[in-house]
Amino acid sequence: MAKDKRTAFFISDGTGLTVEAIGHSLLAQFRDQQVEQVTIPYVDSAEKLQLVLKRIEQAAVESGLQPIIITSIVSNEIRRQLHQSSALMLDVFENYLTPLANLFGRDPAQSVNVSHGIADDRRYSERIEAVHFAMDNDDGRRVREFDRADLILVGVSRSGKTPTCLYLALQFGLRAANYPITEEDMDSTTLPKILRPYRHKLFGLTIDPERLMSIRQERRANSRYASLEQCEFEVRQVEQMLRRAQIPCLNATQLSVEELATRLMSQAGIERRIG
């Protein structure tokens, strides 16, 4: 805990992923504020709660600033005790469970937060299957499985295809293959022959040449591969190719993997398999 820096604690009885995402969203609306962000998952016992409360008071004393708690704890007892700390307490559940209980005409289950639980075997299998599909079909490795793909990402090397495919698999259970357009494919601006039968499954990723250069420099500094000239050439050729073939396309330069995945699903009208 740094001095003069406020701490926000994201406290959960589960993975903490949901409450952390809410915390990031909320704090992003106050970007000029220096806030140390700490996620504490699996707070599901009185002993763990005592350690957390100590940490909160310590942060308050050391920084001289009131800490923030954002929590989605389900247990009434643990929430009550958190409310008694000196922090500003934002309770994600309390404002919403009551109106929902009224709507449904029944009390909430008071069961520990299970939003990231295994849910069911089918969901698990779809997901694992999708992850292995993405791994096996990375970098055009196994074109013969393209028949089974939900979508095929195409673009130059290091345009963000691999992480996007893996994210699509993990988050949405989609079978996403990817195919790198390499220099040999760039002699003409027509789609590589191998991709033509799958035109309706293709989605292009493009990227600004300067950004591509900086990504490639980290991988192979001072190589021809990472030169601005080469990046400009490849991006131009691939953009022409995608335009001619009327393949839908996103520019990855300013987008995170989450944004790429959700935007392309939205643009191409691809429905998730799990979720």
Chain residues 43-102 in contact with its own copies, contact rule CB under 8 A: 66, 68, 70, 72, 74, 88, 90, 92-93, 95-97, 99-101
- Residue 275 in the binding site for its own copies (CB under 8 A): yes
**Residue corresponding to tokens 């030169």:** 227
- Residue 33 in the binding site for its own copies (CB under 8 A): yes
Applying CB under 8 A, which of residues 47, 222, 266, 269 lies at the interface with its own copies? 266
Cross-strand pairs, 6 = 35
Q: How far apart are the first and last CA of the chain?
A: 36
Applying CB under 8 A, which of residues 145, 214, 243, 244 lies at the interface with its own copies? 214
The site string for its own copies over 3-32 (x = CB under 8 A, - otherwise) reads -----------xxxxx-xxx-xxxxxxxxx
Question: Binding-site residue total for its own copies (CB under 8 A)?
Answer: 81
Q: Quick one: 161 or 241, whose CB is closer to its own copies? A: 161
CA proximity to 16, closest of 127, 113, 123, 124: 113
Angle at 9 between CA 8 and CA 12, to 5 degrees: 150
- Residue 206 in the binding site for its own copies (CB under 8 A): no
Q: Quick one: 53 or 97, whose CB is closer to its own copies? A: 97
Q: Quick one: 99 or 224, whose CB is closer to its own copies? A: 99
Applying CB under 8 A, which of residues 1, 5, 36, 41 lies at the interface with its own copies? 41
Is 158 among the annotated ligand-binding positions?
yes
Q: 172 — phi, psi (to 5°)?
A: -120, 0
The site string for its own copies over 105-144 (x = CB under 8 A, - otherwise) reads -x-xxxx-xxxxxxx-x--xx-xxx-xx--x--x------
Measured CA to CA, the distance from residue 71 to residue 26 in angstroms comes to 13
- Structure tokens of 190? 């027509």
Rg over CA atoms, the chain:
24
Give me the half-sphere count of Cα atoms (radius 13 Å) on the Cβ side of residue 255: 21
For the bound state, the minimum distance from the C-beta of residue 189 to its own copies, rounded and expressed in Å, comes to 27
Q: E strands along the chain, which residues?
A: 6-11, 35-40, 68-71, 88-91, 151-155, 176-180, 202-206, 249-251
Positions 229 through 258 that interact with its own copies (CB under 8 A): 254-258
For the bound state, the minimum distance from the C-beta of residue 90 to its own copies, rounded and expressed in Å, comes to 5
Question: DSSP letter at 143?
Answer: G
**Residues contributing to the annotated binding site for ADP:** 155-162
**Residues contributing to the annotated binding site:** 155-162
